[in-house]
Amino acid sequence: MKKPELLAPAGDFEKLKIAIEYGADAVYAGVSHFSLRCHSGKEFDYETFKEAVDYAHERGVKVYATVNSFPFENQLPLVESHIKKLKEIGVDAMIISTLGVIAKAKEIAPEIDIHLSTQANALNSWDYKAYRDFGVKRIIAARETSLKDLIKIKEKVPDVEVEIFVHGAMCFAYSGRCLLSAVQFGRNPNKGSCANDCRYPYVLYAENPETGTMFKMEEYEDGTYIMNAKDLCLIKHIPEILDAGVVDSLKIEGRTKAPYYVAVVTKAYRDAIDEYLSSGKCDCEKYYKEILTTKNRGLTDAYLVKRPYERDDTQNLETSLTHGEWQVSGVVTQEGDSFMCKYKTFPGDVVEILLPKNAKISPCENEIGKIWQEDGKWYLKFNKIVTKSGKELNAVHSGNQNPIMLPCKLPPLTFLRKKVEYSPNGV
């Protein structure tokens, strides 16, 4: 059985490191220029992006650069300059949406692979053959593509790699072809500045043109989230996807998501893939429950295993975001002897330890606290809150920039989390 690549988002250098530590085979990222996540891309400039690429390569992880926006005529010289810089940086592939940019990339950097963005909406073997002949090595399938179609496409075009989205935000529009933000905010989604207008609540009206009477229709007090799509989650379909043998890369959406999201989702899919490949079985429900600890809009398996017209559960009309069951309390520093607070922690608090992939730790206990394992999970109890400089605190809250000591060392980028209760409306 073929082992597919696990591809994770890297919205900044920290998230790139987390994606790698939690099991990604490759990451995708970019500077703000000509990326469909231009705000995330601002986390990198060319210098730091080079550092990130080198960091990944030193650990055997590939980096794919996003160049998938739709440039106007006056931007073409900038696109050309951008491609030259990505060549110097040494990315493993460029993710591109348009034929013109593909042609220019092949001219400037023929040694760098081209991956066709999902924005190009490739849906059939004719599309795949045409893009293959144009020099594309991999096609990121349109989200509307079914697994049955991918099997047929791969039979006809076996020499093109296939990448699919398995997790993350879903766009209300067809394969992301939306101009709603451009209408309301002057922000062009196809140039990377989507304002997520489909996530807002809207108030609906019905007008009788003969009488001029207008009726206001409300399903919920704050309006109706009529365009709000649930998040994609295919963790339960890992066996079917791997059995099909036609998918070369499983992609997680989320360059603008929190570091905790990157860690949890990457590790869940890594573990599910590895478990099924090694044993032929997958406790996918366990990994699904783990994913529920992250913030989401509700989860759906969308269109890979069912046609769009067969679905009636892909929207969340009640709220644009559902809180996960867990709150991140802290992230362990690179030194491993302390953590940075992300929530609030008091003496006596017990937090669960979320370890990077393949990390090993041992129990310990001292005046600062105790670390132990129970029912296959690791926990930490704080006896006291002590800063790295030696100051004892009554509590520590998010925003405090003092590293807080741990009872013993933990792997860098380990997450500490605690279960919390949220009200039904997510407040």
Read off the pTM: 0.88
Give yes or no: residues 171 and 271 share one domain: yes
Give yes or no: residues 266 and 344 share one domain: no
Give yes or no: residues 275 and 160 share one domain: yes
> What residues contact residue 416 under an 8 Å CB cut-off, 6+ apart?
328, 329, 330, 331, 332, 339, 351, 352, 353, 354, 380
In a domain, 191, yes or no: no
Average pLDDT value over all residues in the chain: 89
| pLDDT of amino acid 425 | 41
In a domain, 137, yes or no: yes
Higher pLDDT, 183 or 384: 384
In a domain, 190, yes or no: no
Q: Which domain holds residue 334?
A: 326-419
Residue 25's CATH number: 3.20.20.70
| Residue showing tokens 């890297």 | 10
In a domain, 216, yes or no: no
Interval 324-334 mean pLDDT: 89
Q: Give per-residue pLDDT as tens, 43-75.
A: 899 999 999 999 999 999 999 999 988 888 999
Structural domain count, the chain:
2
| Pair of tokens at residue 264 | 């949890």
Give yes or no: residues 351 and 294 share one domain: no
Q: Give per-residue pLDDT as tens, 228-243.
A: 788 999 999 999 999 9
| pLDDT of amino acid 427 | 35
| pLDDT of amino acid 175 | 64
| pLDDT of amino acid 302 | 86
User: Quick check: 22 and 263 in contact, CB under 8 A?
Assistant: yes
Residue 385's CATH number: 2.40.30.10
In a domain, 183, yes or no: no
In a domain, 18, yes or no: yes
* 274 pLDDT higher than 80: yes
| pLDDT of amino acid 356 | 97
Give yes or no: residues 374 and 304 share one domain: no
* 5 pLDDT higher than 80: yes
Domain boundary among 245, 275, 309: 309
Q: Which residues pair with 95 in a beta bridge?
A: 66, 115
| pLDDT of amino acid 424 | 43
Whole-Å CA distances, 164 to 16, 27, 117, 130: 20, 14, 11, 19
| pLDDT of amino acid 229 | 81
